[in-house]
Amino acid sequence: MTKEFTLNNGIVIPAVGYGSYKATDVDGKRVISDALRAGYRYIDTARFYRNEDEIGEAIEESGIKREELFLVSKVWPTMLGTDATRESFEASCKSLKTDYLDMFLIHWPSAIGDDPDWFKKCLEGWQVMEDLYREGRIKAIGLSNFLPHHIRPLLEEATVRPVVDQLELHVGYMQEYTLSYLQKENILPQAWSPMGRGRVLKDARVGLLAIKYKKTPAQILLKFLIQRGVSVIPKASSIERMCENKDLFDFELTFDEISKLSCVPETGWSGEHPDMIDFSDRF
């Protein structure tokens, strides 16, 4: 079973990365230092998370070589534009104490779901990301929270193909239409909230599988996604949970188990939909 996924530009990434949203809220950089100690080398952050400084400091203190890490950040949709996107990228690099990012994503296609100008702004941002990619400042560029109707027009104009689309995916919210579109277009689906931010950990079907395989519900949820061809970026606060969330490769769910978990009726959705959000006052 794969512990890695290969992006459409040939870059290999770990199947499990560390998701850092709200991770530093209570104890600052300590959590990031623990994630590095637990063996995570892929760190997911975003300008919006306001924790890139702590991540940069934890990395510096760890002594881990830059080339051993895979650092991912994101540009917030109100910062999509020729100057603004470059500014956001440079600010992320400065905070993370690096001169390049391994991956840079557009966080949402638009800050307001029904913004009629969303595509113009997105394309401007994307073209800056393409320039940074060609300049060698970003190793891979991608998307987050893009649905097929956002990706199709972008693919028509793009000269560099997005490598991933990071979106809410977990048992009870598998977005099958988008998932099959991404797989057809060779764009890696990546799950945010792979455990539904805790909302699906108590599902009885998941619990039975945890007993069968002597694993935890978290491990069943994460392994399910990886077996579905989805990379995961779980967030955890203790080193024990961080290690648990990476210890996924000594068991395999069967076809029928994958099918049952894929067919769980909708549950645990965050309530955030790219066509319906209004995040204009969030950044």
C-beta closer to ligand NAP: residue 132 or 195? 195
Q: 135 by DSSP, 3-state: which?
A: coil
Handedness of CA 58, 9, 78, 137 (dihedral sign): positive
Under a CB-based contact definition with an 8 Å cutoff, are residues 14 and 3 in contact? yes
Minimum CB separation of residue 230 from ligand NAP in Å reads 12
Under a CB-based contact definition with an 8 Å cutoff, are residues 194 and 246 in contact? no
201 lies in the binding site for ligand NAP (CB under 6 A):
yes
Active site residue 49: yes
C-beta closer to ligand NAP: residue 121 or 246? 246
**Considering only residues 44-63, where is the footprint of ligand NAP by CB under 6 A?**
44
Minimum CB separation of residue 162 from ligand NAP in Å reads 14
Residue 234 CA, distance from chain mean position: 9
Handedness of CA 123, 95, 12, 66 (dihedral sign): positive
Residue position matching structure tokens 């599902």:
203
38 lies in the binding site for ligand NAP (CB under 6 A):
no
Minimum CB separation of residue 134 from ligand NAP in Å reads 25
Token pair in block for residue 273: 């939909």
Q: Which residue in the list 42, 49, 173, 181 is annotated as catalytic?
A: 49
Minimum CB separation of residue 114 from ligand NAP in Å reads 18
Q: How far apart are alpha carbons 272 and 145 in whole angstroms? A: 10
Count of CA atoms in the C-beta half-sphere (13 A) of 127: 11
198 lies in the binding site for ligand NAP (CB under 6 A):
yes
One symbol per residue from 234 to 263: x for binding ligand NAP (CB under 6 A), - otherwise; what is it? Answer: xxxxx--x--xx------------------
Query: How many residues touch ligand NAP (CB under 6 A)?
Result: 27
145 lies in the binding site for ligand NAP (CB under 6 A):
yes
Region from 15-23, 58-66, 91-99, 259-267 binding ligand NAP, contact rule CB under 6 A? 15-23
Torsion of the alpha carbons at 84, 90, 95 and 98, rounded to the nearest 10: 160
Handedness of CA 169, 115, 277, 90 (dihedral sign): positive
Applying CB under 6 A, the residues found at the interface with ligand NAP are 19-21, 44, 107, 144-145, 166, 192-198, 201, 216, 218, 233-238, 241, 244-245
* Catalytic residue ranges: 49
